[in-house]
Every structure is written in structure tokens, then in C-alpha cells.
Amino acid sequence: MQDALSPILVTGGAGYVGAHLVRHLRSRNCDVVVVDDLSNGRRPRLPDDVPVYETCIGRVDEITRILRKHRCRTVVHLAASKSVAESVRDPLVHYRNNLSNSVALLEACTAADIRQFLFASSAAVYGDVPGGIVTEDANPLPKSPYGISKKMFEDVLQSSVEHYGMTYAILRLFNVAGRGAFMAHEDIAGSEPSLLDALAACRVRAGNTDKIEFQILGNDYDTEDGTCERDLIHIDDVTEAFWRSLLHIAETGKNLVVNCGSGTSRSVKQIVHRFRDRHAPSITPVYAPRRNGDIAKICADISAFKHATGWEPVHSELDKILVSISEPS
């Protein structure tokens, strides 16, 4: 089945998720090509023999040439602006990068006769969901321009690619976390650190001090302890989820739209306190105002993904994730 998928072009392949995925795909004997503008990605994360093109996915002719040169059969689209807070401050940047440039990428894929297309979408497409547990058929009501931009490209993809003989998978990623087996000592933080990136950085800064404050953004949400609740999924489970999804669409010819989370939610307060108690006793949690665009509570129902592909998370226990980020970079 690798022959039906490979070579695979990964956009954003020098980023945190992308670099893990590239190595995972190579472990599955796939040839991989990377396109990344390196605004957040880092070339040293990738093996030296992986072809990397430092360019924008919005350049249709150039991306078409790359796809044809390497005779790619599959595209995995990870490249995106990913900051909820930044999308609230400057929405048009997210609409350009996540929608306009993604449509341009899709044009290049049709010109190069790509057969499979996997899109890394986001749980942000859902917004606040009653009860917090969300299935794929929930009515999407994104709260931020980031979430809106992801949903808009989902709609473009679903309404157009079948006209060009392409099958697609859309994975709505929840909170990807941890360091994987391939990058155990790599600095994984992006342009705007996630909760766990910030915790890891705080632990490093706290090395020579008795106490250091760590801000929890908001403690007045309608949740059990007042802080946001999140579904954390280990990066190694995510890369395997991508692989299973690619196999599914190649083998069945059927499209796939699924949640990719652990199926368990934890509050920010729980996560911070667990990390402090086990890995960074000098951290002192303090509360700060909410961040615009944040969802109060969300947790993936992953039963549809399990049923379709047999995938299930096996690395996403909270303690395992926290151990992985507490290791030195």
C-alpha cells in the first residue's frame, strides 16, 4: 500500500507535528518531500536526505513543479498559522495563510494529479460544545478566526476534490502534546507556545530560583474548577493516526472526516499542578485574565475514527506526556 501513497509531500514538514510525521512516514518506507517556508519550522529537525523546499504553498506553479518532479501521489497539508490569540489580533493573516494559500495548494495538487490529500484541521472548528464532548456531526461554531479559517478550507476541500478524482481525509486535531520517540531532546516550541511548551520552558527558567510564577489564563469558565478543559493527545499517537488515515483512503477510496484526540479531558489547573508536583516544584501557579478566542471545554469522541481505521491512542496518558516534556531539549 506504500506504493499507492508514496512519494508523499508534507507541507509544514519542518514544524513540530510535521517533523515527527516525516520521520514516522519514513519508518513506514515512504519517500517524503517537504515544503516549508521555515517561518516556524526548522530544517535541522529533519534528516539530511529529505528534500526540503523553502517556499510558500500559495505559489501554484512552483508547488506543481515540485509535485511533478518527485512524482508525488499524496499530500499531507500541515502548513498553517496556528495561534488562536494571534488570529483574533490579526484575522486576515490567518485567512490568507490558512484559506487562500491552502486553496492555491489544492490547485497545484489537481494540476499534478495528486490522488490522496490529508488535511490537518482543528478542534477549534467546533467552538464551545454543550457538555464538552464532541462528535464529528456536531454543528461547527468556531469562536476564533483560526477556527473559522480551518472550517472554511474543510468546506472547500469537501466540495471540490471529488471533481478531480482525489480522495481526502480531514483530521480535526485536539491538543497535540509531548515529544515523540524521534525527537526526544528537540526544542519543540513554535511561535506561540502551547500550555505544555510554556510549562517546559518555565521549568528550565526555574532551575536556579526558589519560585517562578506560571500564569493560568482564566479561572472563571463554566467548568468544574473554573479553568479550561482540554483533550491532550501525544504526538506519537497523532503520527500513527495520520498513517492509518492515509491507508484508509488509499485502500477504500472513501473520504474520512474524524476527530483526533485522546477521548479524555483534563483541566488546565490539573495539568499545571500535576506537572509542578512531579517535575517542577518551584513553579507557583497564578491566575491571569482569559485569552480571547479560547474554548471553555472540549473533548473528542473518537469512536468513529476507531471504527473506520482501528486506530486508538496508546501514548496519551497525562503522566507519559508530562515526562516527555520534562526531559531536557
Question: DSSP string spanning 85-149?
Answer: HHHHH-HHHHHIIIIIHHHHHHHHHHHTT--EEEEEEEGGGT-S-TTSEE-TTS----SSHHHHH
- Specify the pTM: 0.93
- Name the residue among 113, 101, 33 with its Cα closest to residue 66: 33
- Name the residue among 47, 41, 44 with its Cα closest to residue 33: 47
CATH topology of domain 2-177+232-260: Rossmann fold (3.40.50)
Q: Which residues pair with 284 in a beta bridge?
A: 213
Angle, CA of 253, 251 and 306, to the nearest 5°: 95
The span from the CA of 107 to the CA of 63, in Å, is 9
Q: Which positions are catalytic?
A: 146
The span from the CA of 81 to the CA of 66, in Å, is 22
Q: Which residues pair with 256 in a beta bridge?
A: 169
The domain limits of the chain are 2-177+232-260, 181-230+263-326
With a CB cutoff of 8 Å and minimum separation 6, the contacts of 138 are 126, 129
The span from the CA of 277 to the CA of 270, in Å, is 10
The span from the CA of 63 to the CA of 112, in Å, is 9
Tell me: cis bond preceding 313? Omega within 30 of 0 counts.
no
Architecture of domain 181-230+263-326: Alpha-Beta Complex (3.90)
The CA R_g of the chain, rounded to the nearest whole Å, is 19
Q: What is the pLDDT along the chain (329 residues), one digit of tens a residue?
A: 667 899 999 999 999 999 999 999 999 999 999 999 999 899 999 999 999 999 999 999 999 999 999 999 999 999 998 888 888 899 999 999 999 999 999 999 999 999 999 999 999 999 988 888 999 999 999 989 999 999 999 999 999 988 899 999 999 999 999 887 656 445 555 545 688 878 877 776 766 566 888 899 999 999 999 999 999 999 999 999 999 999 999 999 999 999 999 999 999 999 999 999 988 888 899 999 998 888 889 999 999 999 999 999 999 999 999 988 876 55
